[in-house]
Amino acid sequence: MATGFVPPPYPHDRLEGLKVVAAAHPDGRGIVDLSIGTPCDPPADAVVAALATSGAERGYPQSIGSPRLREAAAGWMSRRFGVALPASQLAACVGTKEWVATTPHWLHLRRPDRDTVLYPGTSYPTYAMGATLAGCRAVPYASLDDVADDDAARALCLWVNSPSNPTGELADLGAAAAWGRARGVPVLSDECYAEFTWDGPPRTILEHGTDGVLAAHSLSKRSNLAGVRAGFYAGDGDLVAYLSEVRKHAGFMVPGPVQAAAAVAFDDDEHVDAQRERYRRRLALLADALGSPLPAGSFYLWVPASSAEPGADGWALAAELAGTAGCLVSPGEFYGSDGAGFVRIAVVQPDERLEVVAERLARRP
Ligand SMILES: Cc1ncc(COP(=O)(O)O)c(C=O)c1O
């Protein structure tokens, strides 16, 4: 009989009950699913065309990414962030979720004397899961000043995520890089929402140098390509060389046609500018309907449950929104116990569906 690891229920699988409630909204206009951060808008035509015409189907693709893809990704980093990187400091990943989930394992193989993964206390659940999958301790932090000396001494890596899923906050990436360098701890900066930065320009940790830091980027959100699985990581040359070698041995490969399409997507910023405007409009629409503040980045609203009724928790607000507005949202507990008093609302439905939610909210008793 197995006595070891038992995967916990997948967070969104726990929403089945609320889904039924939201779908039964009495106005008959159906459920509006704002629970998962999955884009609903179409990708750029040229990107879809590249998927069909790359001729890259028959051979194995390069695990590290084709020269064309790596140049396009480096070109985007230079345009967007003003960071110039040689292609040798950048490698492909199959979307960033697998990279987040597996990197602690590969780092632990290299540094078995370090057993602790530090991650933001209210965050994307895969940071903690990656620690567990590596057989490491997952230790949340509220701020870098709070990390205990013992945890820092044992740290294999430190995660930062800016703009944050779920809070939309921006982190001080320069401070994180300095913290890691002072302690010899690699800093892994998940920047997959960077294009959706509302307070100021998009930021990357690589603006503060590449020593000891890696930035992860994805086309899932930037270019509405969550279905094709394309991302990359970049930064410290030694870490990129190690991770790209071990990932090659393990067979992580972005499919060839996807690499071709990803290069086309990274070459173009126009479709991203249009997407930014869509999210900006949708965030304003729902923030207004809920009376909640706008985030500094991301396409999430992080709404305190106390705005519904004093003392209510995120599950209670999620249930209320399902019943009264027919909309499915994520209870903040999915992102750590400190988030239990919130819900996360992803504005990933077309405007007309969000207007349905706003109308229903306005009619709430
Ligand atoms: C913070 C964060 N990192 C990484 C991911 C993974 O995205 P992907 O694997 O599609 O690149 C997500 C997806 O929601 C996310 O919110």
Q: Which residue has the tokens 């949202």?
A: 329
d(CA 200, CA 302): 20
Q: Which atom of ligand 1 is nearest to the CA of 124?
A: 1
The atom of ligand 1 lying closest to the CA of 190 is 3
Contact 302, 167 (CB under 8 A): yes
> Phi and psi at residue 172, in whole multiples of 5°?
-85, 95
Q: Give the integer Cα–Cα distance in Å for 174 and 67.
A: 29
Is 186 strand, coil or helix?
coil
* pTM higher than the cut 0.85: yes
pLDDT digits (tens, 9 = 90+) for 108-154: 999 999 999 999 999 999 999 999 999 999 999 999 999 999 999 99
pLDDT over threshold 80, residue 35: yes
Q: To the nearest whole percent, how much of the chain has pLDDT over 70?
A: 98
pLDDT digit string, tens, across residues 149-173: 999 999 999 999 999 999 999 999 9
> Alpha helices, DSSP H only, in 3-87?
16-23, 45-53, 67-81
Residues 6+ apart with CB under 8 A from 338: 121, 122, 140, 142
Residue 307 pLDDT level (bands cut at 50, 70, 90): low
Ligand 1, atom 5: closest residue by C-alpha:
97
Contacts of 186 (CB under 8 A, 6+ apart): 107, 156, 157, 158, 180, 212, 213, 214, 236, 239
CA of 295 relative to ligand 1 center, distance in Å? 18
Q: Examine the pLDDT at 310 and tell me if it is beyond 60.
A: no
Would you state the pLDDT for residue 3? 84
Gap from CA of 5 to ligand 1 centroid (Å): 24
pLDDT reading at 255 higher than 90: yes
The Å distance, Cα 364 to ligand 1 centre, comes to: 33
State the distance from the centre of ligand 1 to the C-alpha of 220, rounded, in angstroms. 8
331-346 mean pLDDT:
95
Exposed/middle/buried for residue 282 (C-beta within 10 Å: 0-12, 13-18, 19+): buried
Distance CA 291, CA 245 (A): 49
**Residue 8 exposed, middle or buried by CB count within 10 Å (0-12, 13-18, 19+):** exposed
Give the mutation target among 36, 170, 195, 218 for probing the ligand 1 site: most ligand atoms within 8 A of CB: 218
List phi, psi (to 5°) of 343. Answer: -125, 155
d(CA 205, CA 315): 34
**Among 1-15, 28-42, 55-69, 240-254, where is mean pLDDT lowest?**
1-15
For residue 27, report the distance from its CA to the centre of ligand 1, in Å: 34
Cα 38 to middle of ligand 1, angstroms: 9
Cβ distance 143 to 175 under 8 Å?
no
pLDDT in tens, 38-52: 999 999 999 999 999
pLDDT higher than 70, residue 276: yes
Q: What's the confidence (pLDDT) of residue 1? A: 72
Residues with a CB atom less than 6 Å from ligand 1: 37, 95-97, 100, 124, 161, 165, 190, 192, 218, 220, 226, 231
Mutate to test the pocket of ligand 1, among 94, 100, 167, 219 (most ligand atoms within 8 A of CB): 100
Q: What is the DSSP letter of 29?
A: S
Cα torsion at 348, 354, 356, 359 (round to 10°)?
A: 150
Q: What is the pLDDT of residues 207-219, one digit of tens each?
A: 999 999 999 999 9
Q: How far is the CA of 164 from the centre of ligand 1 (A)?
A: 11
Q: Which atom of ligand 1 is nearest to the CA of 226?
A: 10
